[in-house]
Amino acid sequence: AQSVTQLGSHVSVSEGALVLLRCNYSSSVPPYLFWYVQYPNQGLQLLLKYTSAATLVKGINGFEAEFKKSETSFHLTKPSAHMSDAAEYFCAVSYSGGSNYKLTFGKGTLLTVNP
Amino acid sequence: DTEVTQTPKHLVMGMTNKKSLKCEQHMGHRAMYWYKQKAKKPPELMFVYSYEKLSINESVPSRFSPECPNSSLLNLHLHALQPEDSALYLCASSQDQGRPIYFGPGTRLTVT
């Protein structure tokens, strides 16, 4: 069975500081991994995806994530936080086996950015 | 273009009402989804349509009835809902399994 664990339900950083949001996955087969962002009262927006190509994935808004199979991790980073990055971030996993379209989400991490 | 549109944006309905949520995508995606999201929680999968056929029903109560009239449209018919069904209902689509799922802006549903 696949699962996703996001460490830290709330992360607070200062504007201009490094953003690091942690995600660990559990999957018995090669996973597809995604990061989504949700701003208040909006839907989820895809930030980036890992689909077994390059292990360092660049996304929108300056975010990137690195797939580390040995650590079963897919942490999200941004070198310098901006006030507009304040939102809820979800890590999600699906896998390539069978006809399963299911996307398993982590519980989410709320990012606040302090001026 | 990665846009999924949903109408209405907000809906308030009584427990005896019948209403429908609508979703549309023009990306040629073959899979469409309904998710339910409660406050401060991740989205929960309700239904998946693959090539216009219902492929996954996550044991959703029958007061929620999905419909896929064609490859671009997805509806969710609502009847006799309960106050605990109040939530953000998200429609989504994807090209295929394992591909990114693109979400619409959601319908904020309040059941009174």
Contact A105 B108 (CB under 8 A): no
Render pLDDT for B33-84 as a digit per residue (tens, 0 to 9). Answer: 999 999 989 999 999 998 999 988 888 999 999 999 999 999 999 999 999 9
Tell if the CB–CB gap between B42 and A46 is shorter than 8 Å: no
Place of tokens 């009402």: B17
B98 and A43 in contact by Cβ < 8 A? no
Q: Which residues contact A25 (CB under 8 A, 6 or more apart)?
A: A2, A3, A4, A5, A31, A33, A72, A73, A74, A91, A93
| pLDDT band at A102; cut points 50, 70, 90 | confident
User: Which residues of chain A neighbour B21 with C-beta distances below 8 Å?
Assistant: none
A107 and chain B in contact, CB less than 8 A: yes
A40 in reach of chain B (CB within 8 A): no
Cβ–Cβ under 8 Å, residues A93 and A32: yes
